[in-house]
Structures are given as structure tokens and as C-alpha cells.
């Protein structure tokens, strides 16, 4: 048994904040049925690069966030399609969508409508700004959340606020969406009562700002970009080695002692100007004494040599590029790269960080083609014949 085996999810999501959440649940064993408009499917299907198998192709981006799913088509703008969807909802446990707030209500299949057909339904809505509030109907991208939450203003080099290099707002919404969905599902199993799970990208982005809110409300400090440094710890950041860069966090007295002894200068531990963590943190002292010394030490070694010598004793790791990441023994040991096949085409995707000892996740399923499950799923859920499905397709319903 997989953890979510027997759970059925109707997935109306596209791009990342939504598809990733439902993929996490699919990896955990839920049956996820991706529903796409036949004339306007998930547009990440066209994102490069492609896995190419003869005259067929599949986006690697789409594959990364839609493995282990089934797929049908349904045009919810058609009245008949709305009825079909409501019938399917009666046999489902969860609906997940990531449209702008109000879109599903305008279509007549929002939560308030659907719960009348299935009171136990968990309905998760992942959106840019949430289902309520003055911004709720605004369009949003990941950058919207990064900008308004303060994340953008905090990241980058001093004086140069910089967008975080991944779609961190979408990813945060994904994870909170999955957590909220599972929580609501457990509640529904206990009580028979479903509910709306309302997750906003903006809210999720704010939740990633660490202690910026308390620093301002309690300490009166507006957090600004500090680059690779840390506001409370030194040395703690990026340092140059012979052939690249490493992260080094040797700021505690214990770690500093280990560092000085390894590089053959234990006498520094008795130096009254830098013999405590607080003294080493002083910016003037740090820039004049500590930083030059670390640069001198590290410049004599490669990143791998430093990591091999010190990683078990203190926080020091090479800063890897993605090609190096694929070779990392720890990540490979943890099965964080999966071999993905699309016909004769092959590639690697990232796996799941959720490791369960008794009911492990399954990441082996592929991402579906558009509507590939139409015949099987509509027959299973609603008893439609091949002829009925053909007619509905020709009428633009499916």
C-alpha cells in the first residue's frame, strides 16, 4: 500500500504551482487525473527542451511536474462539460485548481457549487493572491509574489535587489498547497466534512522571509540585500578556492578552532583581537584580519580537496553547478535523480525528497499525453461508450 492509495484527485492545474503539488500527492500514491481544455491545454507542454521519440515529443519541463498522472480533456466552458465534471466530483476526494480567484465560480463549478454534489470534497485553490482581498482578482506570476512579499527586496548584492533565481513563490505555494490538502483530507476522513483550502502565492512567499517581519516590528530594521554574507554570523558565506567557490560557515569558536588547526595556525586562537566569535564578527576586524586569512588558506586548495578534508568537521561544501550536482554521490545515494523514458528518448528528472521507510513514494510513472485517458476514464467514471466519447469530442465537450 502506498500512503495515499485509494485517494482520487481531479487536477485542473497548469504550469508549476498546482501541477507540482498534485505530483507530490501522486508520488505518494494518489490517483491524479489531469483535466485539460482540449483547445487550451497546459502550455508547459510546449516548453523546451523536448524528449523526442520519432515524430512524437514531450516537454521535459512538463514531464518534471506531471509524472504519475492520468489525463483527460474537458472544456468547462461547455454546459454539458460542467455536468460531466460535477458527476466526476461525486466520485473524487479532492479537486485542485490554480486559476485566478473567481474563474471557477464564473464557470459554475467553484467550491460552493461542487460541495453540494460532494459534501466531503476537499477543494484546493492555489492562486496568486488568494480567494479574498483587494488583490484577489489580479493576474500573478512568481515575480509578483517575490516583489510584494519583500523577498525581492532582501535578495542580491548590497544595493542591488535581485529576483531569486528559481520560481520560489510558485514552489512555496506548491508545498503549502500540498500540506493544506493533506490536512483537509484527514479532517474530511474523520468528520465527513470537506472544505476549501485557499493558498496564495503571495502569502507563501511572505512565509519564506525568515525573520524579516520580526526584525522590523521589534528591532526597527528593514532588511536589505547583503549578498553572500549573513547578518549574524562571520565567517559564513562564499569563498574562493583554487578552482571554484565553496560555502564555509566556520563562525563558532569550535569551528574556528578546527579551521585554524587544519591550516597550521593554532596561534590565532590566542590572538586577543580575534579570539572570540563576537570579535571576529566586527566588520572592520573581519575585513582586515579574517577575510584575507581565509582567502589565503583556501586559495591553495581545490574545492574538492577542501570538502574532502573539512566537510565532516565543519560546514564547508563546494558550490556546485547543475552538471556537478548530477554527479553528487549523496544526491545519487538518496535517489534524487530518476531515469525518465519517453519511448526511446531518455533523460533525468529530480525525484522526491520524501523518504518513507514503510510506504516509499513511487516516482516511476510518466507524464501523460493530452487526453490519453479519455476512453478509459470516462467509461470507468460515467459508463460512456466509445461512441458517446467520440460524439462529445466532436461537439467540443471533451
Question: Which of 197, 198, 224 is CA-nearest to residue 209?
Answer: 224
CA–CA separation, 276 and 254 (whole Å): 10
Helix axes 374-382, 386-394, angle to 10 degrees: 110
The half-sphere exposure of 165 on its side-chain side, counting CA atoms within 13 A, is 1
Of 27, 142, 170, 198, which one is the catalytic site residue? 170
Q: Is 375 left (phi over 0), alpha (psi -120 to 50) or beta?
A: alpha
Helix axes 19-27, 168-191, angle to 10 degrees: 50
- Told to judge if 203 belongs to the known catalytic residues of this protein, a careful annotator would answer no
Q: Is 83 left (phi over 0), alpha (psi -120 to 50) or beta?
A: alpha
CA–CA separation, 248 and 310 (whole Å): 10
Q: Is 193 left (phi over 0), alpha (psi -120 to 50) or beta?
A: beta
CA 197 distance to own-chain centroid:
18
Q: Is the dihedral of CA 84, 90, 92, 95 positive or negative?
A: positive
Q: Which residues are catalytic?
A: 170
Amino acid at each position: 500500500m502506498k500512503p495515499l492509495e485509494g485517494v482520487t484527485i481531479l487536477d485542473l492545474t497548469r504550469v508549476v504551482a498546482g501541477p507540482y503539488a498534485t505530483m507530490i500527492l501522486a508520488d505518494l500514491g494518489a490517483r491524479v487525473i489531469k483535466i485539460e481544455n482540449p483547445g487550451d491545454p497546459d502550455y508547459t507542454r510546449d516548453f523546451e527542451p523536448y524528449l523526442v521519440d520519432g515524430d512524437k515529443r514531450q516537454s521535459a519541463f512538463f514531464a518534471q511536474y506531471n509524472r504519475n498522472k492520468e489525463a483527460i480533456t474537458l472544456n468547462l466552458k461547455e454546459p454539458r462539460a460542467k455536468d460531466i465534471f460535477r458527476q466526476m466530483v461525486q466520485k473524487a476526494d479532492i479537486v485542485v485548481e490554480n486559476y485566478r480567484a473567481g474563474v471557477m465560480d464564473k464557470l459554475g463549478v467553484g467550491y460552493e457549487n461542487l460541495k453540494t454534489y460532494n459534501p466531503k470534497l476537499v477543494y484546493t485553490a492555489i492562486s496568486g493572491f488568494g480567494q479574498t482581498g483587494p488583490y484577489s482578482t489580479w493576474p500573478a506570476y512568481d515575480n509578483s509574489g517575490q516583489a510584494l512579499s519583500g523577498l525581492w527586496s532582501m535578495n542580491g548584492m548590497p544595493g542591488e535587489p535581485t529576483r531569486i533565481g528559481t520560481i520560489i513563490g510558485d514552489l512555496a505555494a506548491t508545498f503549502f498547497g500540498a500540506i493544506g490538502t493533506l490536512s483537509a483530507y484527514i479532517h474530511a476522513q474523520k468528520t465527513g466534512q470537506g472544505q476549501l483550502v485557499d493558498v496564495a502565492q503571495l502569502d507563501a512567499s511572505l512565509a519564506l522571509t525568515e525573520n524579516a517581519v520580526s526584525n522590523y516590528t521589534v528591532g526597527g530594521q528593514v532588511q536589505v540585500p547583503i549578498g553572500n554574507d549573513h547578518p549574524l554570523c562571520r565567517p559564513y558565506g562564499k569563498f574562493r578556492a583554487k578552482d571554484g567557490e565553496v560555502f564555509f560557515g566556520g563562525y563558532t569558536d569550535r569551528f574556528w578552532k578546527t579551521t585554524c588547526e587544519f591550516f597550521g595556525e593554532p596561534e590565532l586562537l590566542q590572538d586577543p583581537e580575534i579570539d572570540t566569535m563576537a570579535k571576529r564578527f566586527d566588520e572592520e576586524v573581519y575585513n582586515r584580519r579574517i577575510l584575507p586569512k581565509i582567502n589565503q588558506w583556501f586559495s591553495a586548495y581545490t574545492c574538492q580537496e577542501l570538502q574532502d578534508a573539512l566537510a565532516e568537521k565543519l560546514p564547508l561544501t563546494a558550490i556546485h553547478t547543475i552538471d556537478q550536482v548530477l554527479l553528487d554521490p549523496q544526491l545519487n545515494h538518496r535517489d534524487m535523480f530518476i531515469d525518465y523514458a519517453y519511448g526511446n528518448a531518455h533523460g533525468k528528472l529530480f525525484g522526491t525528497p520524501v523518504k518513507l521507510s514503510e510506504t516509499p513514494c513511487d516516482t516511476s510513472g510518466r507524464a501523460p499525453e493530452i487526453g490519453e485517458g479519455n476512453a478509459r476514464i470516462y467509461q470507468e467514471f460515467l459508463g460512456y461508450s466509445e461512441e458517446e466519447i467520440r460524439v462529445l469530442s466532436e461537439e467540443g465537450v471533451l
